Structure 1
Amino acid sequence: MSYLVWQDDLNTGIQVIDDQHKRIVDMINSLHRAKAGGGSGGEVAEVLNGLVDYTLSHFAFEESLLEEAGYEFTRPHKRVHEIFIGRVKDFNLRFQAGEDITDELLGLLSRWLFNHIRSDDAGYVPAIKDSMNSLVSNQQAGGWFSRSMKKFFN
């Protein structure tokens, strides 16, 4: 059974962002399975590191998309990401010091992610959708979308 279940109200209507959010949910579920299955510290660390790396890539991609679209609240949105990254880094330091932080981290991740999508991310949807057609139409020509996907996820 999954720890987190994707809900339709989390869909932004921006496929690339929704796919990335769903991948983060899958990775949170992998972290839960590693912990629940009595996985070794190494197994939990591997999942945790992958989750952190992917989330950082997602944030960078999303922030680049916001800048490209000229979203007026890009700076505050980035700040929310920075604060969250700081919290996750603190958890990672505690984990590396031998503390079992998995349950506490899972609680933070599940609450934060769904709240962030429903409030902060929902705010940028109109601006992104307005600019998305031109961004995606340039994909074949090596435009922003194509370059960004390669930069952040390859």
Structure 2
Amino acid sequence: MAMVWTSDLNTGIDVIDRQHQRIVDYINQLEDPATRADHQAISRVLEDLADYTLSHFAFEESLQEEVGYQYAKPHKAVHDMFIKRLTSYQHRHDAGEPVVEQLHAMLCTWLTHHIKRDDMAYVAEVGAKAKQVTEDRKEGGWFSRAMKVFRKR
């Protein structure tokens, strides 16, 4: 069953909401290859999902760092645990285990809870500066900071 984006998942930070919606798109892309039992297509979606999620996490963490969000380290720890879970599912899939149904359920549940609990907690602090930070296009701007966080992983 496809995950549906609902308004209660909106953080009010447009760039973050668009990134979350893209993650939902990746989650939903698992359905078609799963019905066809297309192992390679599932692998590609999992790889794309992992790559995009890592870049989203790096972006989110850089915003938190930029504003001095006091819970940035615990938030990053939650991200790191999620990546370990996703990697575990990827390895199980690579080993031939049928994980898509279980993975889809985990992703839908995790993302919903993460947005509503962990992400909504930083909105007041990060939201006020997110527009300013994301519009910063000069050398050393948000993209450079996000890539530094990404490289630290």
Q: Do the two structures share a fold, i.e. TM-score over 0.5?
A: yes
The share of aligned pairs that are identical, in percent, is: 44
1:90 Cα deviation after fit: 1.0
Gaps of 5+ in 1: none
User: Is residue 91 of structure 2 the alignment partner of residue 123 of structure 1?
Assistant: no
Q: Which residue of 2 aligns with 1:147?
A: 144
Rounded Cα–Cα distance in structure 1 between residues aligned with 2:141 and 2:124: 19
2:61/2:76 contact within 8 Å kept? yes
| Aligned partner of 1:98 among 85, 91, 96 | 96
Q: Which residue of 2 aligns with 1:77?
A: 75
Aligned length: 149
Gaps of 5+ in 2: none
Q: Which residue of 1 aligns with 2:33?
A: 34
1:146 Cα deviation after fit: 4.6
Q: What pairs with 1:48-67 in structure 2 (closer than 5 Å)?
A: 48-67=46-65
Give the counterpart letter for 2:133 in structure 1: L
1:110 Cα deviation after fit: 0.2
1:135/1:143 contact within 8 Å kept? no
Change (3 A) 1:80 1:142: same
Higher relative contact order (CA 8 A, sep 6+): 2
SS at match of 1:100: coil
2:63/2:133 contact within 8 Å kept? no
1:149 Cα deviation after fit: 6.8
TM-score with structure 1 setting the length: 0.88
Rounded Cα–Cα distance in structure 2 between residues aligned with 1:148 and 1:94: 33
SS at match of 2:30: helix
Q: Which residue of 2 aligns with 1:14?
A: 13
SS at match of 1:99: coil
Rounded Cα–Cα distance in structure 2 between residues aligned with 1:71 and 1:84: 20
Q: Which residue of 1 aligns with 2:44?
A: 46
Q: CA RMSD in A?
A: 1.9
